[in-house]
Chains A and B, each alone.
Chain A
Amino acid sequence: MAITDLAYLYQYSSNDKDFVMEMVELFLSSTPSFLEEMKSSFENKDYSMVARISHKMKPSMTFMGIKNGKEITIALEDYANEGTDIAKIEEQINELDQLCQLAFSELKVALNELKS
């Protein structure tokens, strides 16, 4: 079952395929570095940075229609802002990472289909 859904973007752009493609490409190119930055910030115990990045990723979850993505980024931002429950922060980062990896493979396929 698919975890991404591009319906939001199609609707937003009144079915502008080029725009949707650009957005998917942008997500695929920018998100891995966000995740890397998030992980290294966590290693460095810079939890407010973790919160910031999570906050920044939130709109993308809506754009790509990633199921539970928004909820996870919100929860992660809250835990990281509190900065007390380290285990919870780590757990949410991993969950977000896994979710994004799944989204990447799905979106790569979708992108190829769009291009053909």
Chain B
Amino acid sequence: MKNIEGFKIFAVEDDPNFSKVLEYTLKLDPEHEVRMFENGKDLLNALPEKPSLITLDYSLPDFSGGELLQKINYYNKEIPVIIISGQEDVKTAVALIKEGAFDYISKEEDLRTRLLNSINKAKKTNELEHEIEHLREEIAHKYEFEKSIIGKSPSMQAIFKLLEKAVHTNITVSVSGETGTGKEVVAKAIHYNSALRNKAFVAVNIAAVPKDLIESELFGHEKGAFTGAITQRKGKFEEANGGTIFLDEIGEMDINLQAKMLRVLQEREIIRVGGSKTIKLNVRILVATHRNLAEEIKKGNFREDLYYRLLGLPITLPPLRDRGSDILILAKHFLNSFAKENNMGSINIEESARKKLMAYSWPGNVRELKAVIELAAVMSDGDKLKAEDITFTSIDKNENFLLEEQSLRDYTFNIIRHFLKKYDDNVLLVAKKLNIGKSTLYRYLKEMEEDQN
């Protein structure tokens, strides 16, 4: 980030001749605010003035370059330090860069080009780091519990309590719940409210990756590990190292891979496909599934030992139909954000529409609610959302049918009408299909006729 003060460079050099050249070179960029120091001690005292970059002469009277680098790193390891040395010494250069130096430049090189390039590189890195930091903050903000998880129902209050526990430790969390209940939202909210919020969050949907690629996707591979592995590639676990990995649809994991997963979780290390080097892992694991894993264990589709490894803190998200008036709170929320995104005025949900929303069973849960509300907002005229604006797109037609809340007698009649229409009024066939006696069906038909009259 470019601050208003410009780019502040502190340079330490005890030879006044070289110091002059260095100062001259650094000032070639008018953006640079350059301050020269003759020794390490003065520089260390000036660190609170927050330099954007430091250049160090490798051999100073009071400190060696390595010592001073360590002290600067100890103070703030974000400051890029460029070491400028009297001689080219590859070994020292490599050692210093390993210790955290940003670059190593020899006084013999074309100082002007080399130094300014290096500083530009540092600036770019710095800008990117700040941008990432900024974006992370933005995401964290977006995933504050109150903003990302909405609901006042008792079942959701219980979830909030569990989430509070989940963010204060690094325990593995297993999120279960029907499709569309917001398992990924919960996983992200846990990460972005935890101590790891500034580290990576890597999500992998196990069901979405082809079976023969999943292992390399998760653990990475070495060059030439298999046909098509033309370069070395880091896996998702490595990408997430230091942060959080979210394994969605863990129940879909192939049973053979489950054995490998178990080893990874036990040893806390991975080996890339085709590799031999072990890579230490320090990663928080969040998993989610819409399946009942206990059932899957009985069926032999999921390993019991892995199940217990992954269970950790189990969070079961309630289906939307069990969340009572959360449906309306969420509907209002989705409606407001949709209206805002599309520059529409505020839209109110009419009483009839509220009733319709509350009566529906929401098999697709929150995801479905969002889609239904967005469509209704488009269909609505002006500032009112009416019952007829709402169309349920559920694949399960029976659910819609049940919404009508008719009497059992009426339902029965409707079923019979449906079958008669379907089978061209073939009474015998319909009776057979409905598994009732012919006379029973005739009795119903008579009643239906009487009703109509």
Are A and B co-members of a single complex? yes
The answer to the question of A30 belonging to the interface, with a C-beta cut-off of 8 Å to chain B, is: yes
Q: Which residues of B contact A13 (CB under 8 A)?
A: 24
Partner of B24, one of A19, A27, A60: A19
The answer to the question of A56 belonging to the interface, with a C-beta cut-off of 8 Å to chain B, is: yes
Contact A30 B16 (CB under 8 A): yes
Considering only residues 15-72 of chain B, those with a C-beta below 8 Å from chain A are 15-18, 20-21, 24, 59
Query: What are 24 contact pairs spanning A and B, CB under 8 A?
Result: A12-B21, A13-B24, A19-B24, A22-B20, A23-B17, A23-B20, A26-B16, A26-B17, A30-B15, A30-B16, A30-B17, A52-B59, A55-B59, A56-B14, A56-B59, A57-B15, A58-B86, A58-B107, A59-B17, A60-B15, A60-B18, A62-B108, A63-B17, A63-B21
Contact B17 A27 (CB under 8 A): yes
CB distance from A33 to the nearest CB of B (A): 10
Considering only residues 55-71 of chain A, those with a C-beta below 8 Å from chain B are 55-60, 62-63
3 nearest interchain CB pairs?
A: A60-B17, A56-B15, A59-B18
Q: Which residues of A contact B86 (CB under 8 A)?
A: 55-56, 58-59
In the docked arrangement, what's the CA distance between A112 and B331, Å?
85
CB distance from A84 to the nearest CB of B (A): 21
Question: CB-defined interface of A14-30 with B at 8 Å, one 1/0 digit per residue?
Answer: 00000100110011001
The answer to the question of B112 belonging to the interface, with a C-beta cut-off of 8 Å to chain A, is: yes
- Number of A-B pairs, beta carbon distance below 8 Å: 39
**Interface size of A in residues (CB-CB distance below 8 Å):** 17
Contacts beyond the supplied A57-B15, A58-B86, A58-B107: 16 A-B pairs with Cβ under 8 Å:
A12-B21, A12-B112, A13-B24, A19-B24, A22-B20, A23-B17, A23-B21, A27-B17, A30-B17, A55-B87, A56-B18, A56-B59, A59-B21, A60-B17, A62-B108, A63-B17
CB distance from A28 to the nearest CB of B (A): 10
Question: CB-defined interface of B86-100 with A at 8 Å, one 1/0 digit per residue?
Answer: 110000000000000
CB distance from B356 to the nearest CB of A (A): 78
In the docked arrangement, what's the CA distance between A26 and B14, Å?
13
Q: Nearest residue in B to A27 (C-beta to C-beta)?
A: B17
CB distance from B26 to the nearest CB of A (A): 13
